[in-house]
Amino acid sequence: MKILIIYDSRTGNTEKMAFMVKEGVESTGVDVDLKKIDEASIDDLPHAEGLIIGSPVYYGLPTAEIKKFLDESIKYHGKLDGKVGGAFCSSGGTHSGAETTIIALNEALMIHGFILQGTSGKNHYGAASVGSPDDIDLEACRKMGERLGNLVIKTSS
Amino acid sequence: MKILIIYDSRTGNTEKMAFMVKEGVESTGVDVDLKKIDEASIDDLPHAEGLIIGSPVYYGLPTAEIKKFLDESIKYHGKLDGKVGGAFCSSGGTHSGAETTIIALNEALMIHGFILQGTSGKNHYGAASVGSPDDIDLEACRKMGERLGNLVIKTSS
Amino acid sequence: MKILIIYDSRTGNTEKMAFMVKEGVESTGVDVDLKKIDEASIDDLPHAEGLIIGSPVYYGLPTAEIKKFLDESIKYHGKLDGKVGGAFCSSGGTHSGAETTIIALNEALMIHGFILQGTSGKNHYGAASVGSPDDIDLEACRKMGERLGNLVIKTSS
Amino acid sequence: MKILIIYDSRTGNTEKMAFMVKEGVESTGVDVDLKKIDEASIDDLPHAEGLIIGSPVYYGLPTAEIKKFLDESIKYHGKLDGKVGGAFCSSGGTHSGAETTIIALNEALMIHGFILQGTSGKNHYGAASVGSPDDIDLEACRKMGERLGNLVIKTSS
């Protein structure tokens, strides 16, 4: 079983988060394919049981590069239902679009029929950091990876 | 295994949808506890493996009665993670707040750590009708019930 | 000219923000009618040129009491177009539903035909604090009040 | 005074809407600069008093091309506050992401400090059509153009 993690990153903040989400997924025994957006291919989608997307916050939404990937994913529309999904992001300030970015990604994943899971703990909708992720942010990333790894195990069997 | 369906309804439209969501869940062998909001108790939450909420669209959001139920559910915050959730609604017009109502409910469920699933088919975020649900709307309700019933079976075992 | 500020508050955090939004509005010469939700009446709506709503974040949305006020405001549906609106909130944690609460309120105001204004500065969608508002949060509240006061002056003349 | 209308269109549906939004704006005496996304330049932004964006619905969000334009608009961040904005879209089905697309665009505009206005009439958040716009959809487009043209007149004087 495998989760594909796709991320965009300009300053390295979202990348740091991606590495920690990866650790969380791997702690459950699920493999990870981690790709920066310019190396990612939509043709990887059918071969993974899950997709986690990370993006810097740009005008309250994921970057155009991430959006381009989502637009192209229409190639597999109707063939991805039941996979596990999640989203994380890094923003420049507090309450400056992090929640809306994560929710935008969650919505796109729901349109593909994905299975999502929130948390009653920190960062309910998905992991988010303001600027460089601190230890608490990174722990939210790790936990999200763990949560979604476990969800892949439950739903793919 | 059991899914609790809670709904508010003023004109009967959301109620018709609730009955069909119930049929969909039951077709998977999962039991349903169907309650109109004025009979619902948050103390039912820990005893169900899933919660599906239906609401008329009032100012782009679920009704105050539904919101009151959600506010009171804080009693069980941190104890409901991993349950299955979903939302449906009935609006007075096209593009008049149905999507935002369903997403508001989905967000509240994510804050409780629920597991959600969209669909690549009709009504990606959750079943919605404009006015009285027609056969296509009711089929979207039935399918949503079936999808979430199957998700309870997968995730509760 | 007058702006009505309606707020709910449990711990006093949202109330502190409301006082500062009021100061910001008054600095523009526009009057303020400030009411806690249990003293507020929808019959005040037609008599004000603006409505600013503040709420604690409860499950990613405004409280049931605020929602009840919005539901009852249907009495004046179609008679409030062109008034100025805005929203602010106080949450228990970072990225725990503040943005979605403000956006839910903004959406409800748009359904009434209100005029909104964001900001390229802090708290784009509306002022938000995590826990007790600090000086930076309060300054965002004051600026929002000032922005919306000026907007009332421009749009009501 | 001038409003810039930027749109993306694949099948011509969003383009038909754009033409009608233009008519609505022009009926107020405000000029319109109408550009398909591949001809649009962010350097036009400072020279217009308003910006209305139209997009097909792609995974519950505007297209990557529209998003690229928004990302590049950071060049003028902090210099566009107080301009008038709005959004419209065309989707493939009912309740399939039209509302979330419009709200995503409204959020991006709020982050630039734009002034928005909803309506108590049809299509509260912004004009939307399912497939080819019918007469009712086109009338909602015309009315939105008229509303935002009038708002430019009020707020730019």
Q: Is the pLDDT of residue A94 over 90?
A: no
Average pLDDT rounded to a whole number, residues C125-147: 97
Q: Is the pLDDT of residue C154 over 90?
A: yes
Contact A97 C97 (CB under 8 A): no
Q: Angle at which helices B135-156 and A135-156 pack, to 10 degrees?
A: 100
Q: With bands split at pLDDT 50, 70 and 90, how would you rate the model's confidence at A21?
A: very high
User: Would you state the pLDDT for residue D48?
Assistant: 98
Q: With bands split at pLDDT 50, 70 and 90, how would you rate the model's confidence at A72?
A: very high
Q: Could you report the predicted ipTM of this complex, rounded to two decimals? A: 0.97
Q: With bands split at pLDDT 50, 70 and 90, how would you rate the model's confidence at D106?
A: very high
Contact A70 D61 (CB under 8 A): yes
Q: Is C82 on the interface with D (CB under 8 A)?
A: yes
Q: With bands split at pLDDT 50, 70 and 90, how would you rate the model's confidence at C116?
A: very high
What does the pLDDT look like over C34-71, one tens digit per residue? 999 999 999 999 999 999 999 999 999 999 999 999 99
Average pLDDT rounded to a whole number, residues A100-115: 98
The number of C-beta contacts closer than 8 angstroms across B and C is: 74
Contact D110 C118 (CB under 8 A): yes
Average pLDDT rounded to a whole number, residues A111-128: 97
For B86-108, give one letter per residue: b (16+ CB within 10 A) or e: bbbbbbeebbbbbbbbbbbbbbb
Q: Is the pLDDT of residue C157 over 80?
A: no
Residue D20 has a CB neighbour count (10 Å cut-off) of: 21
B32 vs A78: CA distance, rounded Å: 28
Contact D88, C88 (CB under 8 A): no
Q: Is B59 on the interface with C (CB under 8 A)?
A: yes
User: Would you state the pLDDT for residue D93?
Assistant: 86
Average pLDDT rounded to a whole number, residues D113-130: 97
**CA distance, residue D74 to nearest chain B CA (Å):** 27
Average pLDDT rounded to a whole number, residues D77-88: 98
Q: Is B130 on the interface with D (CB under 8 A)?
A: yes
Q: Long-range CB contacts (< 8 A, 24+ apart) of A69-73? A: A69/A6, A69/A37, A69/A40, A69/A42, A70/A108, A70/D58, A70/D59, A70/D61, A70/D64, A71/D58, A71/D59, A71/D63, A71/D64, A72/A42, A73/A42, A73/A45, A73/A112, A73/D59
Q: Is C100 on the interface with B (CB under 8 A)?
A: yes
Give the percent of chain D with pLDDT over 90.
97
Q: Is the pLDDT of residue A157 over 80?
A: no
User: Would you state the pLDDT for residue D86?
Assistant: 98
Average pLDDT rounded to a whole number, residues C145-152: 98
Contacts of B81 in chain A (CB under 8 A): 119-120
Contacts of C103 in chain D (CB under 8 A): 103, 107
B63 vs B66: CA distance, rounded Å: 5
Round the average pLDDT of chain A to a whole number and report it: 97
User: Would you state the pLDDT for residue C133?
Assistant: 97
Q: Is the pLDDT of residue A41 over 90?
A: yes
User: Would you state the pLDDT for residue B157?
Assistant: 74
User: Would you state the pLDDT for residue B93?
Assistant: 86
Contact D95 B128 (CB under 8 A): yes
User: Would you state the pLDDT for residue C94?
Assistant: 85
Average pLDDT rounded to a whole number, residues D27-49: 98
* Ranges of chain B with pLDDT below 70: none
Q: With bands split at pLDDT 50, 70 and 90, how would you rate the model's confidence at A93?
A: confident
User: Would you state the pLDDT for residue B95?
Assistant: 86
